[in-house]
Structure 1
Amino acid sequence: MMRTATIGSLLALHVAVQASPNLPFVINTWGGPFTTATDAAYLSLRNSTASALDAVQVGCSTCEKNQCDGSVGFGGSPDENCETTLDAMIMDGTTMKSGSVAGLRRIKDAIAVARHVLEYTTHTLLAGDLATQFAVSNGFPLSNLTTAEQAKRCAAWREDNCQPNYRINVSPDPKSSCGPYIGIALNSSSPAYKRALTPDASQTSHDTISMITIHSSGTMAAGTSTNGATWKVPGRVGDGPITGSGSYVDGDVGGCGATGDGDIMMRFLPCYQAVENLRQGMSPKDAAEDVVKRILRKYPDGSYGIVVVDKHGQHGGAGSGWTFTYAFRGGSMNATEVVSVPPLTENRRGAKIVYIKLARAFAQQRRGEGER
């Protein structure tokens, strides 16, 4: 009896992690300051006629205004020129249409501009100064995205010879110089060329808010907002505004949000893959773990986080490189809850095998009791 109870407890824990608190439902990457966005999106669904798209915009906009963790909105993650640029994407789970902005300059309301791209154009992505021009033509005010704290931080970075940075195969040596840089001539047999193609996850990752909402009617939406990687090469765009990478949603199946080493993650379209995993019958947790493992096979040293939710609000996550957290609130919950997801390791995969064996043993034992 004791052994049966232990196995049953493991099964109950697994179900509890995946359970839905009912609709409406909001889930997003990260806890801590990001939970204000979860609450804002949830309350918009509970207390008004807001749609799933409205709730995503409210949530991501809240993070932009609050400068969540310094990685979303103005005043964070400057590039080599000490300028903050913003990336955002919003997607409707019914029509599958998305609107995005990348490298948006001098405009604070990135997710709102992305919503305008979705609703007032037949395009998906606008970038750089011309995205700013679009925003201004739609009534968004120009703003200085640099703060005094950011300017001080940037001065210190330059005094430290611009370390770290994202340059490789350039002259002067990017490990001891701020440039300007010139690319070194490469040939296919040179060590430098091989290094350029060799998987490299040595840079630190950055945080992003990626959010999925489910309206009480069952309609779904997703969105992402970020100010990108700190000290990035000017013009760099990461996974955030890329449909299927930073986030993705299909209201017939579910949605996904991603955070981490965006330059690596976007090579795998992780959120598109996660939703397709749901379509093939995987649980949200298994769908997320499968995606992270796909990336780890090629880039084992990076930091990645994936949160997945199905159309019923059942959810799960997976990460690598650090303890990933995500926040959710739904049904009649009085407060947002934060889930910590330990990084995937060989030991963790081994523990999962043990769990499966225990579950099978429990099922066999139950069948035996039924026969008696």
Structure 2
Amino acid sequence: MVINTWGGPFTVATDAAYESLLASSSSSSSSSSSSAGGSSSNEYTTNKATAALDAVQLGCATCEAAQCDGSVGFGGSPDEQCETTLDALLMDGRTLNTGAVAALRRVRDAVGVARAVLDHTAHSLLAGDQATAFAVQNGFVEEKDGIGIGTADSVRRCREWRERDRCQPNYRLGVTPDPRTACGPYTPVSVAVSEEEGEMRRSLQQHDDENGSARKKERYQASHDTISMIALDGVGGMAAGTSTNGASHKVPGRVGDGPIAGSGSYVDGEVGGCGATGDGDIMMRFLPCYQAVESMRRGLAPGEAAEDAVHRMTRRYPGVAAGLVVVNARGEHAGAAAGWNFTYAFRGGGMEATQVVTVSPIDGVEDAVAEI
């Protein structure tokens, strides 16, 4: 079984990962039969160990190559300086080993580099230019044409945002010139003004002012989504992964929840897994996927675990946009959302096609701009 955030263009990833599991199962069965006749069982052992992980990597890589909804892979979500950078994570549910990259520059195959971190280091996360250097050392191609992994279209749209839209909306607070009306370079202003700006943001998040909903829609229209995927193979293995190009017009160097184990995704093969998408800067404060898996460990059903994790966020940040898909080790699954209509896709068993599930927000706030 394969399950991941979002339907629509993201289902190409679901299908690719699921077909990978079918191929692995067929290969394992053939190898097992050969082993029974006296041949080596090394291939079968390897397939058992990596089937779910390989499927998640392939699924996320498929989305990266297809530039799913413009929010995964190259040529999407450029930062303030019009550069696209990538975040990705892979997690093995058998061992809990994790490999991730954050703010990866000039390399397209982010989830592949995350797999290299998992397989060839004792670390869990590499970031920035050092992650790029590691990728090159491991045989990945570094783009050196001046726009990195951006495209002519992504650079054009970013320049329009800077010149025509005067860098609106953006993520700056407590700086001069006023980030609500002008582009940088920015410098910090006094603590008193910073506190005022901070209060404005809290008001926006909590819908305390009458324009909060409209401002929130404007923010997410220019923002992002993420693919987070969980796979269950035929021999009890589980894996999870995430890939994204992050928030549009982010401050250069920003890392969201995608490559953070427990936030963007999490899996424990004894219990289940979770994938998340939404306002990563808020969501990573709650590690919602870790919370959901631990809730299932304590006996909650997937739907209860997902809703509990989302409620924990909305209680503190009523304006948060979040979507979680949760699956237990038996393949039972559910989702929960706040701030938008969320969808997730799954395919398993003998299903001939991927099915998409629509999840209404538990807070009753629907952001049609962010709906996929």
What TM-score do the two structures reach when normalised by structure 1? 0.84
Counterpart in 2 of 1:334? 352
Pairwise CA distance, 1:190:
4.9
C-alpha distance in structure 2 between counterparts of 1:258 and 1:347, whole Å: 18
Deviations for 1:162-199, whole angstroms, at most 9, x for unmatched residues?
11100011000001111110011215995345557778
1:257·1:271 contact (CA, 8 Å) conserved in 2?
yes
Aligned residues: 324
1:285·1:316 contact (CA, 8 Å) conserved in 2?
yes
1:169 counterpart = 2:145 = no
Q: Which amino acid aligns with 1:337?
A: Q
C-alpha distance in structure 1 between counterparts of 2:191 and 2:201, whole Å: 10
Counterpart in 2 of 1:233? 251
Deviations for 1:44-90, whole angstroms, at most 9, x for unmatched residues?
00023451100000000000000000000000000000000000000
Q: Percent identity?
A: 63
1:252 counterpart = 2:270 = yes
Counterpart in 1 of 2:14? 38
C-alpha distance in structure 2 between counterparts of 1:141 and 1:232, whole Å: 25
1:200·1:299 contact (CA, 8 Å) conserved in 2?
yes
Gaps of 5+ in 1: 1-24, 349-372
1:187·1:193 contact (CA, 8 Å) conserved in 2?
no
Counterpart in 2 of 1:361? none
2:67·2:74 contact (CA, 8 Å) conserved in 1?
yes
User: 180-189 or 290-299: which moved more?
Assistant: 180-189
C-alpha distance in structure 2 between counterparts of 1:39 and 1:169, whole Å: 45
Counterpart in 1 of 2:2? 26
Deviations for 1:213-271, whole angstroms, at most 9, x for unmatched residues?
00100110000000000000000000000000000000000000000000010000000
Q: Which amino acid aligns with 1:280?
A: R
Counterpart in 2 of 1:133? 133
Counterpart in 2 of 1:89? 89
Q: Which amino acid aligns with 1:156?
A: E
Gaps of 5+ in 2: 28-46, 207-215, 367-372
User: 200-209 or 130-139: which moved more?
Assistant: 200-209
Counterpart in 1 of 2:123? 123
Counterpart in 1 of 2:314? 296
C-alpha distance in structure 1 between counterparts of 2:337 and 2:75, whole Å: 27
1:86·1:225 contact (CA, 8 Å) conserved in 2?
yes
Counterpart in 1 of 2:229? 211
C-alpha distance in structure 2 between counterparts of 1:112 and 1:208, whole Å: 16
Residue 278 of structure 1: which of 271, 274, 296 is its match? 296
Counterpart in 2 of 1:148? 152
C-alpha distance in structure 2 between counterparts of 1:233 and 1:347, whole Å: 27
SS at match of 1:218: coil
Q: Which amino acid aligns with 2:299?
A: G
The alignment's C-alpha RMSD in Å is 1.8
Q: Which amino acid aligns with 2:309?
A: V
Counterpart in 1 of 2:30? none
1:169·1:196 contact (CA, 8 Å) conserved in 2?
no
C-alpha distance in structure 2 between counterparts of 1:162 and 1:153, whole Å: 11
1:319 counterpart = 2:324 = no
Q: Which amino acid aligns with 1:137?
A: Q
1:113 counterpart = 2:113 = yes
Could you say which structure has the larger radius of gyration? 1
Deviations for 1:113-171, whole angstroms, at most 9, x for unmatched residues?
00000010000000000000000000001123111111110121012111110001100
What TM-score do the two structures reach when normalised by structure 2? 0.84
C-alpha distance in structure 2 between counterparts of 1:290 and 1:158, whole Å: 40
Q: Which amino acid aligns with 2:348?
A: G
1:284·1:308 contact (CA, 8 Å) conserved in 2?
yes
C-alpha distance in structure 2 between counterparts of 1:258 and 1:311, whole Å: 18
1:188·1:194 contact (CA, 8 Å) conserved in 2?
no
Counterpart in 2 of 1:179? 184
SS at match of 2:257: coil
Q: Which amino acid aligns with 1:44?
A: S
C-alpha distance in structure 2 between counterparts of 1:190 and 1:290, whole Å: 31
